[in-house]
């Protein structure tokens, strides 16, 4: 059986912006992960935890090598190209406490060298706990807010929300506190793309993913093996 949603989780889609966007995908992984396309299929599996199925990220070791320095372990939501969106999800790290333990949310994904991602790293520095752009060169920090690390707790599920507004370039990242964004950036480089989940280096789990968004027609992202 699925875990009961907390009051906070029930309010995740409360902001008016999310309500203005159609629900394009909702996934509790009880029926597998066929809606997702991984960079490294052997790095993902469905795991049962306390009678509840979750998407399990097994870490980065594998054959996929991105063309520029960026995360290895990514799984993209298939055939859902969007502009504006609000993503909410539950996430748990399986790493022990260390500086760069992370889980990531990807968006605006157009090909393996062009996308954004949110690095939910424990310790902030120019390469951790930031909003990044990958634009045909190694990931570059675009976060505008002061550096704040992600307060991971061992063995605990957390709630994450990512908001994207294309016209203004707004990117907001929320973690547990769904009222105040922890990280903010503005960038208009990529106005459409796929959404994904993953990590730069680490192990973790995802569940109860919900995406409200504006579908974008006549765009064809380049997937991992197509870029070789």
Every domain of the chain and the residues it spans? 7-227
Q: How far apart are CA 40 and CA 181, in angstroms?
A: 31
pLDDT of residue 62: 76
Q: What is the pTM of this model?
A: 0.91
Q: Inform me whether the pLDDT recorded for 196 exceeds 60.
A: yes
pLDDT of residue 13: 38
Q: What contacts 27, CB < 8 A, 6 or more positions away?
A: 33, 35, 55, 208, 209, 210
Superfamily of domain 7-227: Exo-inulinase; domain 1 (2.60.120.560)
Cα Rg for the chain, rounded, in angstroms?
Answer: 16
pLDDT band at 111, cuts 50/70/90?
very high
Q: What is the mean pLDDT of the chain?
A: 90
Q: Indicate the burial class of 130 (C-beta count within 10 angstroms; 0-12, 13-18, 19 or more).
A: buried
Bridge partners, residue 125, by sequence: 128
pLDDT band at 98, cuts 50/70/90?
confident
pLDDT of residue 16: 57
pLDDT of residue 8: 36
120-139 residue pLDDT tens:
999 999 999 999 999 999 99
Q: How many residues does the chain have?
A: 228
The answer to whether 171 and 184 have CB atoms below 8 angstroms apart is: yes
Count of beta carbons in the 10 Å neighbourhood of residue 215: 15
What is the mean predicted confidence (pLDDT) over 144-172? 97
């Amino acid at each position: 059986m699925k875990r009961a949603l907390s009051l906070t989780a029930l309010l995740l889609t409360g902001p008016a912006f999310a309500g203005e966007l159609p629900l394009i995908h909702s996934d509790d992984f009880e029926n597998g992960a066929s809606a997702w396309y991984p960079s490294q299929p052997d790095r993902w599996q469905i795991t049962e935890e306390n009678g509840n199925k979750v998407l399990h990220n097994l870490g980065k070791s594998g054959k996929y090598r991105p063309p520029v320095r960026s995360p290895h372990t990514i799984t993209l939501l298939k055939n859902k190209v969007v502009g504006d969106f609000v993503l909410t999800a539950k996430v748990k790290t399986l790493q022990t406490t260390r500086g760069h333990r992370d889980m990531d949310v990807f968006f605006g994904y157009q090909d393996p060298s062009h996308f954004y991602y949110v690095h939910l790293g424990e310790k902030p520095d120019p390469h951790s706990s930031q909003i990044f752009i990958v634009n045909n060169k190694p990931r570059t920090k675009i976060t505008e807010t002061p550096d704040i690390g992600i307060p991971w707790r061992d063995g605990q599920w957390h709630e994450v929300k990512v908001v994207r507004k294309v016209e203004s370039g707004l990117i907001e990242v929320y973690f547990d506190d769904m009222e105040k964004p922890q990280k903010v950036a503005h960038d208009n480089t990529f106005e459409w793309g796929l959404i994904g989940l993953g990590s730069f280096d680490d192990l973790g789990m995802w569940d109860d993913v919900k995406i409200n968004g504006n579908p974008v027609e006549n765009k064809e992202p380049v997937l991992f093996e197509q870029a070789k």
